[in-house]
């Protein structure tokens, strides 16, 4: 396909997927049940890092975790007791266990004592951000911040970093949710960077479709591939390249039906 045809295809499917009741079948429905900013960003984070496997399972496990948080995630983070944490002992989603969840709860509690939002855990005033690499430095900062907090080593595998050449798919998805505005899916509750700086979440569906369309050459799903794909999408729609995440994901999912 020539570039103009690819552009037309991506715009068509992005609008079709984003507008066509996407949220009702997507894990993003979990944070969408909350109105308080802190609840949205906490529930969104846990849902995003569990976003691998079947969407139905992700939704069910995310809902289960929020119920264990008494459907008040921020209040739970700040005010939990030892007996509250004990309720989490049976929770597990793939390799994410109660040990990891508790580690993140404690990390977030420490953060919220000093900050009003998780946005500053990524986009700190102390971090010098390069215009072309906002998200790289934000994800690296978050990963380093977590690494320097008390936690079992096993939990680090759930906090990916571009410094290790990870594609950071789940964290990029989370940033899309938090930053993109005027969307029926994304929340747009963070303001330190705009959508023009976001990186495309590189999941299996997105990668396969991008390779087939010829807009991605790198077959390894790593940070370099994420940069390559996002740079291509920026040529088409520089103000909001991850808008096409809907198109690439949607085409991949529809092919499975």
Asked whether residue 241 is domain-assigned, the answer is: no
Asked whether residue 212 is domain-assigned, the answer is: no
User: Band of the pLDDT at 129, cuts 50, 70, 90?
Assistant: low
Q: How many CB atoms lie within 10 A of CB 63?
A: 17
Asked whether residue 250 is domain-assigned, the answer is: no
The whole-model pTM stands at: 0.95
Task: Give whole-number Cα distances, 174 to 89, 171, 214, in Å.
Answer: 25, 5, 26
Q: What is the pLDDT of residues 20-31, one digit of tens each?
A: 778 888 999 999
Q: What is the pLDDT of residues 31-51, one digit of tens each?
A: 999 999 999 999 999 999 999
Smallest CA-to-CA distance from 145 within 99, 110, 100 is with: 110
Q: What's the domain range around 174?
A: 22-199
Asked whether residue 65 is domain-assigned, the answer is: yes
Asked whether residue 239 is domain-assigned, the answer is: no
Asked whether residue 247 is domain-assigned, the answer is: no
pLDDT score recorded for residue 127? 60
Number of domains composing the chain: 1
Asked whether residue 81 is domain-assigned, the answer is: yes
Asked whether residue 246 is domain-assigned, the answer is: no
């Amino acid at each position: 396909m020539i570039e103009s045809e690819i552009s037309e295809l991506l715009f068509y499917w992005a609008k079709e997927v984003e507008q066509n009741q996407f949220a009702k079948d997507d894990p993003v429905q979990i944070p969408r049940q909350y109105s308080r900013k802190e609840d949205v960003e906490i529930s969104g984070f846990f849902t995003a890092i569990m976003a691998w496997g079947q969407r139905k399972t992700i939704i069910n496990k995310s809902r289960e975790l929020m119920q264990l948080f008494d459907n008040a995630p921020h209040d739970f983070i700040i005010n939990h007791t030892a007996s509250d944490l004990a309720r989490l002992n049976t929770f597990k989603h793939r390799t994410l266990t109660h040990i990891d969840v508790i580690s993140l709860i404690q990390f977030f509690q420490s953060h919220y004592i000093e900050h009003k939002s998780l946005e500053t855990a990524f986009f700190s005033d102390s971090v010098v951000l390069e215009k072309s690499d906002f998200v790289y430095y934000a994800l690296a900062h978050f990963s380093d911040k977590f690494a320097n907090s008390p936690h079992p080593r096993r939990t680090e595998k759930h906090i990916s970093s571009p410094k290790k050449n990870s594609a950071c798919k789940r964290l990029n998805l989370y940033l899309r949710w938090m930053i993109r505005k005027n969307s029926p899916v994304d929340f747009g509750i963070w303001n330190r960077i705009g959508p023009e700086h976001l990186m495309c979440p590189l999941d299996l569906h997105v990668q396969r479709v991008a390779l087939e369309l010829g807009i991605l050459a790198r077959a390894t799903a790593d940070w370099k591939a994420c940069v390559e794909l996002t740079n291509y999408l920026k040529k088409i729609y520089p103000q909001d390249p991850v808008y096409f995440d809907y198109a690439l994901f949607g085409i991949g999912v529809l092919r499975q039906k």
